[in-house]
Amino acid sequence: MTSARSSRAARNRWLPEGRRGPMPWIIGIMMFLTVLSAACALGLGHALTRLRGDLAGGYTIQIVEANAAKRMQAVRGISAYLDSARGVRTYKVVPEAQMLAQLAPWLGEDARADELPIPALIDLSLRPAAGSARVTQIEQAVKRILPSARIDAHQGYLAPVEGLMRTLMWLAGGLVALMLLMTGAVVVLAANSAHAAHRGTIDIIHMLGATDLQLARLFQRRIALDAALGAMAGTVSAAALLWLLDSNLHVSQSELAGLIRLPWRSVAILFGLPLFAVLVAALTARITVMRALERNL
Amino acid sequence: MERVIQFENIGLRYGADAEVLRDINFSLSAGGFYFLTGASGAGKTSLLKLLYLAQRPTRGVLRLFGEDVVMMHRGRLPGFRRRIGVVFQDFRLVPHLSAFDNIALPLRVAGIEEKDIAGPVEEMLAWVGLGGREGALPASLSGGEQQRIAIARAVIGRPDILVADEPTGNVDAEMAKRLIALFEALNRLGTTIVIATHDLPLIGQIAHAQMMRLDKGRLIDPTGALRFPPASPARDDRAGLPLGKPQ
Ligand SMILES: Nc1ncnc2c1ncn2[C@@H]1O[C@H](COP(=O)(O)OP(=O)(O)OP(=O)(O)O)[C@@H](O)[C@H]1O
Ligand SMILES: [Mg+2]
């Protein structure tokens, strides 16, 4: 064990120590942006699933009928139907007072139901197993009771936002991929210039019977170390920023906070990113140097 | 006797220039001691480069240990290089490594454990007269001292073939004798020795050595039959050679 370590230490001295180049800085900045983009993508993805989950199976039946008596009758009829209809989990007639309270800002504080043709609303929640065929059946039954009644899926409200969120999510995910690609490109440049800088030493060790792999490992280790340094700094900075944002959202009591809060799996992915980047860097360095060495005899 | 080195119709040209080696044909026996001489620019270093696998010939067949190394996949060459110790004409010490680490390099490349390295390295340092200088960087050593480090590095792994390009060019006559004695000791352990040199008195030191001469890229006396008369009888100072001990 000791001798394995000391021979490794000896091998590490085959190349001169030298100053650290800009590699850790570049990787650090890219890692910072990568983690932020990834958090964005994961956060949006998570928010989308949660929104969809919250809204799944939710419907609103709108009963638009100016005549209050007819409206009440329709509500009673539909309620009776829903009591026995299959696939219905719960339903609730939205109380008129609640409707009025919600409409107050538009209609004025003293608006009254008998003066205004307010539609009646029934919040309907279907069982998860209820498919679209079931929804169509219910809709047809409701329309038989009152032809002007409408049934809206809550998920439909999400459609315009969902498109935007999805686009942003893929954009952020694309940025992550690009950033990792850039990491590879930076490593190729760094490995090539390191190889060029130590060409003389490499040639000597090569002539003493060192294999390409032995030589490539010298660079691989060094570049992986640089990358690890940068990746750690970048990730810690990004995590700090995210934590700050998160606690600010919490102070403002925004509902957004709960929505954006990442589950532990996503957090694990975020912290896996720097490890992945270091792996990419090490592998790229090895392949780059191996290729450069292959040009010699 | 086993032929460890075989050149068949070897030709070498650098780029589009004329051939610097032409129609080289010879073979060397395992355990032999060979000198290669010739005027400056005759192609001695070029021939040795082929031998220590720093260069591929542009034509011909080159066999080392019975295997054709010209057509060989380059992935197999390091294994062959480890069996060949080289003293480069320009030493080629690693500038940022100490004398100790330079000499230890072939052992470390071969994956020898660190605990088995210090002993042989110290012994080699003492033998080339540089005991106590293990920490010195090449730049702080004289030309002759650097050359001795280069020789120690070439010899330490007890290679099957030792190739030396002007190994005594920078040392005084006394040290030259001592180094030749070192090569001889290695030779007695079975290493085939090939030394390029201008130093004719040096050649006379080895009774059983054979000589090859290059002239403008051609080998004169390709059989290597030219033998030098024994110049000096076996000396007693060989008894204390570091290589006499089994590793
Ligand atoms: N890398 C190279 N590129 C082009 N030409 C070369 C190269 N190396 C050697 N030569 C040429 O090959 C010829 C033989 O050179 P080489 O170094 O083998 O001679 P040498 O016998 O070792 O000479 P010396 O005794 O001066 O060391 C010379 O004409 C030299 O100019
Ligand atoms: Mg030469």
Asked if the model's pLDDT at residue B246 lies above 60, the reply is no
ipTM of the complex: 0.86
Residue A168 lies in a domain: yes
pLDDT at B31: 93
Where a domain ends, among A148, A170, A188? A148
Q: Do residues A281 and A214 share a domain? A: yes
Structure-token pair, residue B52: 């220590």
Which pLDDT score, from 0 to 100, does residue B67 have? 95
Instruction: Look at B62-66, B90-94, B212-216 and tell me which has the smallest mean pLDDT.
Output: B212-216
Per-residue pLDDT tens digits for A86-135: 888 889 988 877 877 777 777 776 666 566 677 888 998 888 777 778 88
As to burial, measured by CB atoms within 10 angstroms (0-12 exposed, 13-18 middle, 19+ buried), residue B15 is: exposed
CA B59, B4, B230, B175 dihedral sign is positive
- Domain membership flag for residue A192: yes
* Contact predicate A34/A176, CB 8 Å: yes
Q: Is A112 in the same domain as A29?
A: no
Domain spans of chain B, in order of start: 32-52+82-211
Q: How far is Cα B2 from Cα A115, in angstroms, rounded to an integer? A: 118
Nearest CA to ligand 1 atom 18: B43
Nearest-CA residue for ligand 1 atom 29 is B41
Q: Is residue A154 part of a domain?
A: no
Confidence (pLDDT) at B235: 39
Chain B positions touching A209 (Cβ under 8 A) are 78-82, 106, 109-110
pLDDT value of residue B237: 42
Domain membership of residue A186 (yes or no) is yes
Helices (H), chain B: 44-51, 77-81, 99-109, 118-127, 143-155, 173-188, 200-204
Residue where a domain stops, chosen among A104, A120, A148: A148
Residue A238 shares a structural domain with residue A125: no
pLDDT recorded at residue B225: 47
Residue A25 is predicted with a pLDDT of: 93
Q: Work out the minimum CA distance from A205 to partner chain B, whole angstroms.
A: 8
Q: Which CATH number is B32-52+82-211 given? A: 3.40.50.300
Smallest CA-to-CA distance from B158 within B178, B126, B132, B185 is with: B185
* CB atoms closer than 10 angstroms to residue B158: 17
Asked whether residue A171 falls in the same domain as residue A288, the answer is yes
Asked whether residue A206 falls in the same domain as residue A288, the answer is yes
Going from the Cα of A258 to the center of ligand 1, the distance in angstroms, rounded, reads: 76
- Shared domain for A171 and A128, answered yes or no, is no
Mutate to test the interface with A, among B70, B101, B105, B121 (most CBs of A within 10 A): B105
Predicted local confidence at residue A3, as pLDDT: 52
Domain end call among A148, A182, A202: A148
Closest Cα in chain B to A201: B94
CA distance, residue A292 to nearest chain B CA (Å): 14
**A88 CB-near residues (< 8 Å, 6+ apart):** A82, A124, A125, A126, A127, A130, A138
Count CB neighbours of A246 within 10 A: 16
Q: Which residues of A touch B53 (CB under 8 A)?
A: 297
Residues, Cβ < 5 Å to ion ligand 2: B 44-45, 89
Q: How many A-B residue pairs are in contact by the CB < 8 A criterion?
A: 67
- The reply to whether residue A204 touches residue B114, judged by beta carbons under 8 angstroms, is no
**pLDDT for position B227:** 40
Asked if residue A287 and residue A192 are part of one domain, the reply reads yes
Domain that holds residue A136: 65-148
Residue ranges of chain B whose CB lies within 8 Å of a chain A CB = 52-56, 74-75, 77-82, 86, 88, 92-97, 101, 104-106, 108-111, 113-115, 153
Pocket of ligand 1 contains residue B44 by CB under 6 Å: yes
Q: pTM higher than 0.95 for the full model?
A: no
If asked whether residues A180 and A218 sit together in one domain, one would say yes
Residue B205: pLDDT band (50, 70, 90) is confident
Q: Which amino acid is at B53?
A: L
pLDDT digits (tens, 9 = 90+) for B85-114: 999 999 999 999 999 999 999 999 999 998
Per-residue pLDDT, A294: 92
Segments in chain A below pLDDT 50: 1
For B49, name the nearest residue in chain A, comparing CA atoms only. Answer: A207
